[in-house]
Amino acid sequence: MRVFSRSHIITSTMRSLLKKAIKSADKVVVAWGNNGKLMQRDRLVLELLSKHDIQPHCLGITKADYPHHPLYIMCSKQLGVYR
């Protein structure tokens, strides 16, 4: 079994691309569903957003308190603030 560190989950290249994207966006929408918790990817992205004072938005929240994945919600759903 291979053990991954946090750096394997979101590499420095991916982190750099995320930073560039969030700085140029009017709103950042998070939508990973319940699977975002895998290897704490959700925490890493939320920490990055917080570090840059970016308020994440979502299309709803799952029972487990994760932002809904758009595949599982109605198209009329409006954006709201996540956390």
| Predicted confidence (pLDDT) per residue in 46-55, tens digit | 998 999 899 9
Q: Are 36 and 62 in contact (CB under 8 A)?
A: no
CB atoms within 10 A of CB 24: 7
Residue closest to 30 by CA, chosen among 16, 12, 48, 13 = 48
Work out whether the CA dihedral 54, 57, 61, 62 comes out positive or negative: negative
* φ and ψ at residue 40, rounded to 5 degrees: 60, 30
Task: Give kind and range of the element (H or E) at residue 46.
Answer: helix 41-51
The model's pTM = 0.77
| Structural contact between residues 22 and 28, judged by C-beta atoms closer than 8 angstroms | yes
The predicted-structure confidence for 19-45, as pLDDT tens digits, reads as follows 888 888 999 999 999 888 877 888 888
